[in-house]
Amino acid sequence: MGRLFWSIAIIVLLVPALVATEFKPWILLEPDNLKVSSRFLGDFFPPATQPEFLLLVAKEAWRTIAIATAGTFLALLLAIPMTLISTRVLSISSLSGRMHPLPFAVRQMIRWILIIIRSVPELIWALVFVRVVGLGPAAGVLAIGLTYAGMLGKVYTEILESGEQHVAGNLMRNGSSRLQTFFYGVLPQNLTELTSYTVYRWECAIRASAVLGFVGAGGLGQQLDNSMRMFNGGEVATILIVFMLLVGLADLLSAWLRKILQ
């Protein structure tokens, strides 16, 4: 009965969503549109391979990695303390019954801060920071740092709270401090999951920095923007291929890290 209800409910909710988003995939196949898109895609081949262009792409790719890495690092700096404060796993007062009102209020406040900073998309943050610090990678780093701090903080908290809490509870019950408990009881239980999520976020940051490039925050994205404006399909193809390689690299890194932490 419940299942039937939910199936119908999902369909009822989905139809207005499709209407609202003007979801009409068949217009892709109309002759006029096909001609435009095939011309654009046709330009992709062959990808641009002029040495000076490749050098430029390599330089920008390095800058993209740098933006993503610095942004993720900044996000970690903000997210880790907020996770430590907001996670219920490290609450001493809730070891025996309900959490005290003051720590509860502090935890709620941190949660709201996390919601606020991640609900503003990184593109908007980038537009703001481009005005503050000027065009260039610094705006991208700040934008990624802020938004991702919100995401990392939320997901870290959830990972810790969904994990096994037996060890942490026991350590605190025997008189260990919250930070000691984190390093001896919580981290060893959750390290691989935290690491793989962080590397995934780094991968997302690489992609995000592409979008941020369009608003002038530097890196491969800015180059992609330039090539698109000049309708240079070959260059666009090369840059996209480099993106795929970067994402693949992040995937390999994540797999390798998980393996050594296992």
**Closer CB to other proteins, 85 or 138, in the complex:** 85
Residue 40 found at the interface with other proteins (CB under 8 A): no
| Smallest separation (angstroms) from other proteins to the CB of 150 | 23
Cβ atoms of residues 232 and 91 within 8 Å: no
Cβ atoms of residues 61 and 254 within 8 Å: no
Give the residue, chosen from 96, 101, 244, 260, that forms a contact with other proteins under the rule CB under 8 A. Answer: 96
Q: Give the contacts of 103 (CB within 8 A, at least 6 positions apart).
A: 91, 93
Total site size for other proteins, rule CB under 8 A = 33
Residues numbered 100-119 forming contacts with other proteins, rule: CB under 8 A: 100
The conformation of residue 87, written as its DSSP 8-state character, comes to: -
178, 238, 248 from 55: Cα distances, Å = 50, 12, 20
Could you give the string, one character per residue 141-170, with x where binding to other proteins holds by CB under 8 A and - elsewhere? ----------------------xx-xx-xx
Residues numbered 183-242 forming contacts with other proteins, rule: CB under 8 A: 183-185, 188-193
Residue 69 found at the interface with other proteins (CB under 8 A): no
**Closer CB to other proteins, 47 or 103, in the complex:** 103
82, 193, 200 from 111: Cα distances, Å = 8, 21, 22
Cβ atoms of residues 138 and 129 within 8 Å: yes
Q: How many residues does the chain have?
A: 262
**Closer CB to other proteins, 35 or 166, in the complex:** 166
Residue 176 found at the interface with other proteins (CB under 8 A): yes
Indicate left, alpha or beta for 91 from its phi (over 0: left) and psi (-120 to 50: alpha).
beta
Q: Which residues bind other proteins (CB under 8 A)?
A: 92-93, 95-97, 100, 163-164, 166-167, 169-177, 179-181, 183-185, 188-193, 261-262
